[in-house]
Amino acid sequence: MYAEIVADRFVYVFVADGHGVGARFTARAHGDLDCDGTLSTFERVGWFDEKGDFQEGAGLWEHLPGE
């Protein structure tokens, strides 16, 4: 069986602020899938509300997803 090994084309970033109630995070991925030097970005946000329940943003934010 032949399998081509391709290096991961994305860089991942996770930024957290605070802990417990009110804590927030942003998860982000940057990559250049078509190798033209222009990066795409995918981002998701979330937080813990005043009851301590996990909440998430409206959806996945994308910038230049085909790059």
pLDDT digits (tens, 9 = 90+) for 9-56: 788 999 999 998 999 999 999 888 888 888 899 999 999 999 999 999
Distances (CA, A) of 45 to 2, 5, 53, 56: 39, 31, 14, 6
For residue 34, the model assigns a pLDDT of: 82
Q: Which residues pair with 40 in a beta bridge?
A: 31
For the entire predicted model, the pTM comes to 0.75
Q: Which SS3 state, helix, strand or coil, does residue 9 take?
A: coil
- CB-based contact 42:65 (threshold 8 Å): yes
Q: What is the DSSP letter of 64?
A: S
In which residue are the tokens 């085909």 written?
66
